[in-house]
Amino acid sequence: MDIIGFLKSQFICHLLICYIFIVSGLIINFIQLFTLILWPINKQLFRRINCGLAYCISSQMVMLLEWWSGTDCTLYTDPESYHKYGKESAIVILNHNFEIDFLCGWNFCERFGVLGSSKVLAKKELSYMPIIGWMWYFLEIVFCKRKWEEDRKTVMQKLLNLRDYPENFWFLIHCEGTRFTEQKHQISMQVAEAKGLPKLKYHLLPRTKGFAVTVQCLRNVVSAVYDSTLNFRNNENPTLLGVLNGKKYHADLYFLLFTIGRRIPLEEVPEDEQECSNWLHKLYQEKDAFQEEYYQTGTYPEVPIVPPRRPWTLLNWLFWALLLLYPLFKLLINMINSGSSLTLASFAFVIVMASVGVRWMIGVTEINKGSTYGNNDNKQKQK
């Protein structure tokens, strides 16, 4: 192992990275709190400022993938449509198979300049999570309890609030509702059989109600639906811990303006909820076919393009590192010079708690500790 690779695998480096992320994130959350005074005065200014502040947080995660681990990301798409990415608002349908698929989604948002304004449909519990959850609150992220009878009104109102958003944004949505596991897939296909729907080999049955409402509320706001399917070469199983250790992955993303041989503007997506549901089910059948082709050939049918990395994620991280590491090292030197056993014991306690916190944050992304949503029989009713 080379010296750089060795250093990347050391826990002390991970601790410093997490220290920068946590402290800078809490500082930014605190600044975001004060931006609330702008909402009644100038809502659009509030939104633009929070897009920039959110970028300062999320870009640190993207920096780990792009610059720390050096993961390669290849986009397979129609070259004629490539120039539209980042220049229009869009709904992006993502598959949900890997521990870092959210991070890869952010990576492509960053490469097309919409990371700060990107939106998601997220579970309500995440809104209470410091740093990212709080950041999302100020970004007007749509949170749901995964109980559609309770969610419908809230989700619709949140989506309608985005109709006058001042920045281009990508609304990232996992229509499967939860990350793919064999157990969830088996239950999902039982539901497909009961409903007379074609079975899927590589995806869960999409939950169509949230997608239909998203299309309905964002009509005339977003220009298109992008269908994307993420895979990693050589049967790699990427993890956030692997990224933190500096492991390099090779991500392939099949990324099309939603199409059946052509670009379909959002206004051509069916408005009727049942027709929209049928449309989405057909899309997932096509996604399954593309996935089968990828496993057989190791490639996608479109032209491979590598979107250029932008320097801003690295520069943002270096700014926060220079700002926060100096006072940390100064404090550490003063504590060592003091020679106080109580001071050193307190510092050791903080290190232990920090390591536990780091492991907890990584654990949130792990598949075997993921959501049980979709596992229970009483949650099999999908529309």
* pTM, 2 dp: 0.87
* Per-residue model confidence (pLDDT) at position 358: 63
CA pair distance 358, 16, nearest whole angstrom: 10
CA distance 93 to 86: 15
Decide if pLDDT at 258 tops 90: no
Task: Please report, as a single letter, which amino acid is at residue 197.
Answer: L
What percentage of the chain has pLDDT greater than the value 90?
Answer: 39
Instruction: Assign 117 a pLDDT band (cuts: 50, 70, 90).
Output: very high
Question: pLDDT digits over 272-299, tens only?
Answer: 889 999 999 998 998 888 888 888 887 7
Note the pLDDT of residue 257.
45
CA distance 351 to 360: 14
**pLDDT of 360:** 62
| 3-state SS string for 30-63 | HHHHHHHHHCCCCHHHHHHHHHHHHHHHHHHHHH
Backbone φ and ψ of 86, nearest 5°: 90, -10
Helices (H), the chain: 3-8, 11-34, 43-63, 79-82, 101-111, 132-138, 148-161, 182-195, 208-218, 240-244, 273-297, 312-338, 341-363
Q: Between 356 and 128, whose confidence is greater?
A: 128
pLDDT tens figures, 40-57: 999 999 999 999 999 999
Q: For residue 255, what pLDDT band results from cuts at 50, 70 and 90?
A: low
Whether the CB-CB separation of 5 and 68 falls below 8 Å is answered with no
Nearest-5° Cα angle at 363, 360 to 364 = 95
Of the candidates 295, 273, 146, the residue with the CA atom closest to the CA atom of residue 229: 295
CB 227 within 8 A of CB 282: no
Sign of CA dihedral 59, 61, 62, 67: positive
Question: Which pLDDT band holds residue 234 (cuts at 50, 70, 90)?
Answer: confident
**What domains can you pick out in the chain, each with its CATH number?**
21-312 (3.40.1130), 314-369 (no CATH)
Q: How far apart are CA 142 and CA 124, in angstroms?
A: 9
Contacts (Cβ under 8 Å, ≥6 apart) of 359: none
The pLDDT of residue 293: 84
Q: What is the pLDDT of residue 361?
A: 60
Q: What is the pLDDT of residues 311-356, one digit of tens each?
A: 999 999 999 999 999 988 887 788 777 767 777 677 677 677 666 6
Amino acid, res. 307: P
